[in-house]
Amino acid sequence: MSTDNAETGLNIKELLTEFPEMSRTELRDFKKGIDETFKGFTREYGEGIENFFDPLLAILVWFEKLVVATPWPLMIVILAALVYAGARSWPLVIGTVITLLIVGYLGMWEDMMFTLALISVATALCIIIGIPLGIIMSKSDRTQAVITPVLDIMQTIPSFVYLIPILMLLGIGKVPGLIAVCIYAIPPVVRLTNLGIRLVDKDVLEAADAFGASPRQKLFTVQLPLALPNIFAGVNQTIMMALAMVVVAALIGVQGLGSEVLKAVNNQYLALGLMNGLAIVAIAIVFDRVSQKFGKRLQKHSEVVHG
Amino acid sequence: MADNSIEVKNLYKIFGTNGKKYIEAVKNGMSKDDLNAKHGHVLGLKNININMPSAKIQVIMGLSGSGKSTMIRHINRLIDPTIGEVIFQGEDICKMSKGDLQEFRRHKTAMVFQKFALLPHRTVIDNTIFGLELQGVDKKERHDRAMHWLSRVGLDGFEENYPNQLSGGMQQRVGLARALTNDADILLMDEAFSALDPLIRMDMQSILLELQAELHKTVVFITHDLDEALRLGDQIAILRDGEVIQQGTGQEIVLKPADAYIADFIKEVNRGRVIRVDTIMTAANGGSSITIPTGSRLELAAKLMVESGEAEANIIDDAGNAIGAITLKSAIDAMVTPAVH
């Protein structure tokens, strides 16, 4: 009787101090099972998936080549023109040109072009996928309930974690880098497209209904135009987040300012790291200011208010 | 001319997840409060029967919460009824398919809203063409038609402004132009002038009456303002708690209020502007030198008599034949004493 009591006492103590975890072998088999399944999936479909992304690779490579091969003076003119078209601000154009000249003078021109190409393609991809996704999400609360947690995961999961399956599937290269960037950068444009459409004035929507707008007409003549400032805030955030990912992308073989930073980390080159890091910051500031000014111009109609 | 009357028949609207379930209870006399307290459903409209005359202005009047905005939204089915029919040109709007309804809204109705509901990102002209754009009318034509109506509502020169550069009154002119550009048979006006200040409201009423005199649309006009209702309405229906408590011409309502609620309502009304000479005229006697056309309001008749110094006047019809006579005394009597009821 007394021994029984002692034994139970011991068991309870053990239960409180030791977490009732899976046995070691079970746990190993569990992990192994997942790994093996995914490896099997990779063996089976890896090539197909890689082929599926070939067009993306072709576009990215073509664009990189184009940007790198363009003579630098022409490139500066083109970029200045783009900045002016977007922002209509001479100070910003001048600032951009000076930034480009300094970065180039410090020997980072080609890397900057690679990074610009990656960011441009990634942003374009995020917009092409993200805006329709945001539209779908705005159509029903159920789709919103499904997509929101996925976006939460995409934004919070450490990027190294999703690098693993991407690497297993696609190996090292530009496309996996691009995908990693997009996974991290796409949530804002999706979220803000959804939000922007949901925030459109109910009265205006009712008017569109009353005049017999089809769902499609309503989307293109009322919802999207009125959501545009929000959508653009999303695009701005997407660009910023894509830039934040260039070093991680460099980890899986994307060339550019990020790979130089990585080299600097590995070799403790302070100057190299600082210079490339600041170049990324410079690009970010230019992108940010231009897209913000552009976003403001989209709201021209709300500027002048009748007193 | 086509018959563009709208007939609302036995219309009920119960807001809530399962309104149909409580129709019988409401028909058997369950009150709005009981329905809400016991079943969590809100009674919007109860047994509405209104025959809105073709090419006339039908006013639906009521205080807030009376169901008048719910009512007007059944005509273009922005709100689906729980049960009931809305018949226009032989077709029940409540039974239309999605596609038919869309076509109906595009071509047969146009709506003006209390809060204007203009598209803030579009200029005045681009707002005005909105209905035609949805219909797929070509660019040149829709531009011309929109310009015509903008000019009719007095907005020449404002085409390229954005709505929030304009005052409330001007924004609502855009709303009116947008609706008129559609050239629909039915014009739905949901408290269209309620957000405007009194002078501008009078202005807009005049514009509407002026346009209606030549356009002859079937106008459904919602208001909470009795003076507005009496000024505009060829027919008036008064709503309270989702029920029609009286309908008729303004004169009928002022002369024979159906209950104490309405009597209370019309106490402050200027009778001289509502009651017409025909209502109080006696047999023609040809004893006066001045004539007053049939359908004139008492205020005008009294004014004419006072100005001419006559104590009597002849009422003549459109062809100029004398059909009756009134005295100054009888006119003033009718203007000041509440009529028997």
Nearest to B105 among A212, A225, A304 (CB): A212
Q: Which residues of A touch B119 (CB under 8 A)?
A: 204, 207, 221-222, 225-226
Dihedral of the alpha carbons of B41, B43, B47, B50, in degrees to the nearest 10: -140
Regarding whether B216 and B136 lie in a shared domain, the answer is yes
B247 in helix, strand or coil? strand
The Cα–Cα gap between A226 and A222 comes to 6
Whether residue A274 is predicted with pLDDT greater than 80 in this model: the reply is yes
Q: Please list, in sequence order, all residues whose beta carbon lies within 8 angstroms of the beta carbon of residue B259, skipping any fewer than 6 positions away.
A: B245, B246
B117: amino acid identity, one letter: A
- Residue-wise pLDDT for A129-185, tens only, equals 999 999 999 999 999 999 999 999 998 999 889 889 888 888 888 999 999 999 999
Return the pLDDT at A190: 97
For residues A230 and A199, the answer to whether their CB atoms sit within 8 Å is yes
Contact B162 A304 (CB under 8 A): yes
A210 shares contact with chain B (CB less than 8 Å):
yes
The Cα–Cα gap between B224 and B68 comes to 9
Return the pLDDT at B1: 57
User: In terms of Cα–Cα distance, which of B40, B38, B44, B54 is closest to B6?
Assistant: B54
Q: Which of B121, B133, B178, B185 to mutate to test the interface with A (most CBs of A within 10 A)?
A: B121
**Chain-centroid distance, C-alpha B261:** 21
Contact B104 A305 (CB under 8 A): no
A301 shares contact with chain B (CB less than 8 Å):
yes
Rounded to 5 degrees, φ, ψ at B91 are: -120, 140
Regarding whether B211 and B138 lie in a shared domain, the answer is yes
A297: amino acid identity, one letter: R
Residue ranges of chain B whose CB lies within 8 Å of a chain A CB: 76, 78, 102-107, 109-111, 113, 115, 117-122, 130-131, 133-135, 162-167, 182, 188
For residues B15 and B44, the answer to whether their CB atoms sit within 8 Å is yes
Q: In chain B, pLDDT over 70 holds for what percent of residues?
A: 98
Regarding whether B174 and B258 lie in a shared domain, the answer is yes
Regarding whether B320 and B204 lie in a shared domain, the answer is no
DSSP A223: I
Confidence class of residue A304 from pLDDT cuts 50, 70 and 90?
Answer: low
Contact B105 A210 (CB under 8 A): yes
Regarding whether B200 and B296 lie in a shared domain, the answer is no
Nearest 5°: the CA angle B50, B53, B58 is 70
DSSP A173: S
Nearest 5°: the CA angle A12, A15, A16 is 90
Mean pLDDT of A29-33: 93
Find the domain containing B301 and state its range: 274-336
Q: Please list, in sequence order, all residues whose beta carbon lies within 8 angstroms of the beta carbon of residue B144, skipping any fewer than 6 positions away.
A: none
Return the pLDDT at A205: 95
Whether residue A3 is predicted with pLDDT greater than 90 in this model: the reply is no
Q: B21 in a domain, yes or no? A: no
Q: B287: domain CATH number?
A: 3.90.1280.20
Whether residue A251 is predicted with pLDDT greater than 50 in this model: the reply is yes
Regarding whether B288 and B260 lie in a shared domain, the answer is no
A82 shares contact with chain B (CB less than 8 Å):
no
Return the pLDDT at B179: 94
Domain closes at, from B272, B292, B323? B272
Q: B126 in a domain, yes or no? A: yes
Regarding whether B229 and B283 lie in a shared domain, the answer is no
- Residue-wise pLDDT for A195-215, tens only, equals 999 999 999 999 999 999 999
Regarding whether B295 and B250 lie in a shared domain, the answer is no
Regarding whether B203 and B291 lie in a shared domain, the answer is no
Dihedral of the alpha carbons of B12, B18, B20, B22, in degrees to the nearest 10: -80
Chain A: residue nearest B183 by CA?
Answer: A211
Q: B90: domain CATH number?
A: 3.40.50.300
DSSP B165: G
For residues A306 and B165, the answer to whether their CB atoms sit within 8 Å is yes
Return the pLDDT at B59: 95
Return the pLDDT at B279: 84
User: In terms of Cα–Cα distance, which of A131, A275, A252, A259 is closest to A181?
Assistant: A252
The 8 Å CB, 24+ separation contacts for A43-48 are A46/A168, A46/A169, A46/A170
Regarding whether B242 and B137 lie in a shared domain, the answer is yes
Contact B107 A211 (CB under 8 A): no
Contact B188 A210 (CB under 8 A): yes
Residues (pLDDT < 70) of chain B are: 1, 337-341
Q: B62 in a domain, yes or no? A: yes
The Cα–Cα gap between A191 and A127 comes to 12
Chain B: residue nearest A205 by CA?
Answer: B117
For chain A, domains (ranges, CATH) are 53-299 (1.10.3720.10)
Mean pLDDT of A272-286: 93
Whether residue A239 is predicted with pLDDT greater than 90 in this model: the reply is yes
Dihedral of the alpha carbons of B332, B292, B267, B244, in degrees to the nearest 10: 150
End-to-end CA distance of chain A: 91
Confidence class of residue A1 from pLDDT cuts 50, 70 and 90?
Answer: very low
Q: Name the domain count of chain B.
A: 2
Regarding whether B148 and B235 lie in a shared domain, the answer is yes
In angstroms, what separates the C-alpha of B72 from chain A's closest C-alpha? 11
Regarding whether B124 and B260 lie in a shared domain, the answer is yes
- Residue-wise pLDDT for B43-67, tens only, equals 999 999 999 999 999 999 998 888 9
A142 shares contact with chain B (CB less than 8 Å):
no
Whether residue A289 is predicted with pLDDT greater than 50 in this model: the reply is yes
Domain closes at, from B252, B272, B292? B272
Nearest to B120 among A210, A211, A301 (CB): A301
